[in-house]
Amino acid sequence: MALKEVVSEGDTVNLRDEENSFYLLLKKGETFTTHKGIIKHEDIIGRVFGDKVTTHKGHEYLIVRPTFYELIMFGIKRKTQIVYPKDSGYIALKLGLCPGMKVLEAGIGSGAMSIVMANIIRPDGVIYAYEKEERFIKIAIENLRMASLQEHVIIKHKDLLEGPDEEDFDVAFIDMREPWECLEILKKVVKKTSPVGFIMPTTNQVTMLLKSLEEKGFFNIEVEEMIHRPYKPVPERLRPVDKISGHTGYLVFARVPQRF
């Protein structure tokens, strides 16, 4: 009950001072260097979250436990358009993700969505993530490791369209360019009446997908989008920020038809 407070090797910590913020996967023997001095990872390991660590030049950084929001937005490497927290938190609820689930994901991209899903389905659940691009897999593994969630995701270097090696999935999340191509596969390997989710950037893709979902008997079909609007946190001058994200993707959800 309550998280461990002591920082261990393999944890990702957020080091911050008034000006900067860094995300660091701790490994004995490594060092972290800024213009304010050098810190050995071993000077952080064994400390407690909320402590301060001092560089060799005497500058202090606060050791903070990063949230998933921070890890995804600022910590992980990106080789692709990621699924943003404004969408992924909601997707988790639309898919009914819970501990123990067997999840099908394709493709994994940079792993941002895998991180959100793995955190919920652990410890007994597992994500089978299909990805045909080798360069994405490398990044995704690195990012999952940063979140200490790599053991809950089995990455398959394979196009989902070739057919997955598993079946009886509880749920699926699809982030592919032509998601309508994989609907027959979803019908085969995802449990009947289970929820499946999709994300895609264009209205044309949504139209194509909706047509196929209808044709193939999927039901409870929904299309949605989330607009995220941050404010300047100034009490006497409260107002939204000047520039916001105009679009990430359209979310589509449906349930797999019965296989009579």
Evaluate whether 252 touches 222 at the Cβ level (below 8 Å): yes
Q: Determine the Cα–Cα distance for residues 242 and 6; give it in Å rounded to an integer.
A: 40
Residue 220 Cβ vs its own copies, minimum distance, rounded to whole Å:
8
**Considering the rule CB under 8 A, would residue 35 count as an interface residue with its own copies?**
no
The footprint of its own copies on residues 103-122 (CB under 8 A) is: 116, 119-120, 122
Using CB atoms within 10 Å of the CB of residue 71, give its burial: 0 to 12 exposed, 13 to 18 middle, 19+ buried: buried
**Considering the rule CB under 8 A, would residue 125 count as an interface residue with its own copies?**
yes
Site pattern 144..183 for its own copies (x: CB under 8 A): ------------------------xxx-------------
Out of 49, 132, 142, 181, the residue judged to bind its own copies by CB under 8 A: 49
Q: What angle do CA 241, 71, 62 make, to 5 degrees?
A: 90
Out of 68, 78, 79, 145, the residue judged to bind its own copies by CB under 8 A: 68
The footprint of its own copies on residues 229-248 (CB under 8 A) is: 229-247
Lookup: tokens for 29: 């023997």
User: Binding-site residue total for its own copies (CB under 8 A)?
Assistant: 91
What stretches of 9-48 show up as alpha helix (H) in DSSP?
41-44
Q: Determine the Cα–Cα distance for residues 107 and 226; give it in Å rounded to an integer.
A: 21
Out of 69, 132, 133, 217, the residue judged to bind its own copies by CB under 8 A: 69
Decide whether 10 or 100 has the Cβ nearer to its own copies. 100
**Considering the rule CB under 8 A, would residue 124 count as an interface residue with its own copies?**
yes
Note the Cα 67 to chain centre separation in Å: 12
Residue 175 Cβ vs its own copies, minimum distance, rounded to whole Å:
15
Which distant-in-sequence residues (6+ apart) come within 8 Å of 231 by Cβ?
A: 238, 239, 240, 241
Out of 11, 15, 76, 102, the residue judged to bind its own copies by CB under 8 A: 102
The footprint of its own copies on residues 200-229 (CB under 8 A) is: 201-204, 206-208, 210-211, 214, 221-229
Evaluate whether 47 touches 55 at the Cβ level (below 8 Å): no
**Considering the rule CB under 8 A, would residue 25 count as an interface residue with its own copies?**
no
> Is the preceding omega at residue 107 within 30 degrees of 0, hence cis?
yes
Evaluate whether 57 touches 48 at the Cβ level (below 8 Å): no
Out of 91, 144, 186, 199, the residue judged to bind its own copies by CB under 8 A: 91
